[in-house]
A and B are shown apart, each in its own frame.
Chain A
Amino acid sequence: MTTNISGVLEPRAVRVHEIATDRESAIHRCADVLEEIGAVHPAYREAMLDREWAMSTYVGEGVAIPHGLDMSRDLVRRDSLAVLRFPGGIDWEGGRVTVCVAIAARGDGHVALLSQLALILLDPRKAEILRSATDPEAIVAMLEADDEE
């Protein structure tokens, strides 16, 4: 599978020393980073919070994937991901989160990276490597890899 995914996750969108006291402030940090990199309109933040309260975005292995709603796609400027690492952990509905993979998507540009994330999380050893990685370039490389046979 050859996919041009460069640009969906940039090293500057990877933050490895984040602190948040709770789920809500973690979502705000995710929205901050998506805004900072120019991926979303400021109103996308509300959609992320609405989505989170409607249903937890916890997916397992200490990872949550905060994102907006179908009707907030127009607030996304380009398909982008941001990775925020919270070494202290956050109580989340569903489990304890140390990594947020925040999603802003209007199309399918992010699909390959999310598929790779699913592969990583299904392998507890790889999931641990992702959770403990502190080099943004390495995190980008891990998610851009294509381990699909």
Chain B
Amino acid sequence: MTSIHGGSIRKVVVACDAGMGSSVMLASQLRRELRGAPVIVEHHSIATIPDDADVVLCQLGLAGRARAGAPGSVVVGFRMFLGDPAVARVVAAVKQGGVVFGTPGS
């Protein structure tokens, strides 16, 4: 999938290679920012992304693998763990509406 409307997002998955470090930190920030919204935030390793993930956030370098493993999800790549604009766009779409576009790639 290449895009999804913010109002349709029910589950956001933060994925990293191990699912033990970076993804845990970002998922906890997202949970805080999305508190009160009808959205579940989980952290997983890139190999175990659940099928019902609407949006997958991962480091840009992992986006290709995430897309291959989660064809039904919109995959958004980010560069920074703190204050990345791509992450902020997902939060804004959930809270205020708007469309989340997946990171382009092959």
Minimal Cβ-Cβ distance residue in A for B62: A55
- B25 in contact with A59 (CB, 8 Å): yes
Could you say which residues of chain A place their CB within 8 Å of the CB of B81?
A: 59-60, 118
What number of A residues sit within 8 Å (CB to CB) of B?
Answer: 26
Interface residues on B, range: 20 to 34
- A114 in contact with B17 (CB, 8 Å): no
- A51 in contact with B17 (CB, 8 Å): yes
Q: Tell me whether A40 is interfacial, beta carbon within 8 Å.
A: no
Query: In the docked arrangement, what's the CA distance between A73 and B20, Å?
Result: 9
Could you say which residues of chain A place their CB within 8 Å of the CB of B29?
A: 118, 122
Of the 9-residue stretches A3-11, A31-39, A62-70, which lies at the interface with chain B? Answer: A62-70
Could you say which residues of chain A place their CB within 8 Å of the CB of B18?
A: 51, 67-70, 72-73
Query: In the docked arrangement, what's the CA distance between A55 and B16, Å?
Result: 10
Minimal Cβ-Cβ distance residue in B for A112: B28
Shortest Cβ distance from A103 into chain B, in angstroms?
A: 5
Q: Tell me whether A18 is interfacial, beta carbon within 8 Å.
A: no
- B20 in contact with A103 (CB, 8 Å): yes
Could you say which residues of chain A place their CB within 8 Å of the CB of B32?
A: 119, 148
Q: Tell me whether B69 is interfacial, beta carbon within 8 Å.
A: no
* Interface of B toward A, CB cutoff 8 Å: 17-22, 24-26, 28-29, 32, 45-48, 59, 61-62, 80-83
Q: A67-B18, A111-B24 are in contact. List 14 more A-B contacts (CB 8 A).
A: A67-B21, A68-B20, A73-B20, A103-B20, A111-B28, A114-B25, A115-B24, A115-B25, A117-B25, A118-B81, A118-B82, A121-B82, A122-B82, A148-B32
